[in-house]
Amino acid sequence: MPRSFTGPVKQANDKRWAAAPGRAGEAGEDAPLRLQDYLPYHLTVTANAVSNLIGGAYRARFGLSVWQWRILCTLGAQGPMTAQDIVILSAMDKMTVSRAIQGLRKRGLLSRSKSKTDARAFDLGLTTQGKATYREIAPMALAFQEAVLDGLTRGERETLLRTLQAIRARADALSAVD
C-alpha cells in the first residue's frame, strides 16, 4: 500500500533545499538558473520520485522494472501497437523500450505478430498472462496515484492535469518547429 507523503518527507526535502550549495548568501544566489525555480528540474525530479515509488512496488510484487511496467500498462490501456508507437506514446528511449520488450516476451507477458500496416514492424500485445498482470497492476497504480495526490482538491487535480497537458503540448509544438 502507498506511503504517506506528508510530514517528514516534505520536511526532509525542505531541509535539502536549505542545506544545498548556493543557498543563503553563497554564489548560487546570483546564478542565472536556480534549480528550485526551474520547471524542467521539478518535472524530472517529480516524475522520477513518483515512478520510482510505484516501480519499487511493481518490482517487489511482479519482478518488473519501471520500464517493463510502463510498457505493460501502455499496452493494457491502449491495446496492441508497435515498439515505435510505444516509444512515441510513452516518450521512452528506443533502446530502453527494446530491452523491456525482450524481458516481457521472455516472461510470457507480451506476444508479437507481423504488423498488418507495416511489413517492417511487429505489433505487440499482451498475452493472457500479461492481461492478468495488467489487471493486478492497474488498481495498484490508481492507489499510488491517489496517495500521491492526497491532499489536493478535485479542482487542483484537474488543474494539475490540464497544466501538464498544456506544457506537453507546447513542448511538442516547439519541438516540431526545430
Residue 169 counted as domain residue: no
Residue 6 within any structural domain of the chain: no
The pLDDT value given to residue 168: 92
Annotate the chain with DSSP letters as a single string. -PPP-STHHHHHHHHHHHHSTT-TTSGGGG-S--GGG-HHHHHHHHHHHHHHHHHHHHHHHH---HHHHHHHHHHHHH-SEEHHHHHHHHT--HHHHHHHHHHHHHTTSEEEEE-SS-TT-EEEEE-HHHHHHHHHHHHHHHHHHHHHHTT--HHHHHHHHHHHHHHHHHHHHHHHH-
Res 177: pLDDT: 80
Q: Which residues of the chain have pLDDT under 50?
A: 1-10, 12, 24-25
The confidence score (pLDDT) of residue 58 equals 87
Instruction: Give the chain's domain count.
Output: 1
pTM of this structure: 0.74
Tell me, what CATH number does 70's domain have? 1.10.10.10
Judge whether 93 lies within some domain: yes
In a domain, residue 105? The reply is yes
Q: What is the pLDDT of residue 124?
A: 97
- Give a yes or no: residue 159 inside a domain: no
Domain encompassing residue 44: 37-145
Q: Is residue 17 part of a domain?
A: no
In a domain, 8, yes or no: no
Residue at 166 is within a domain: no
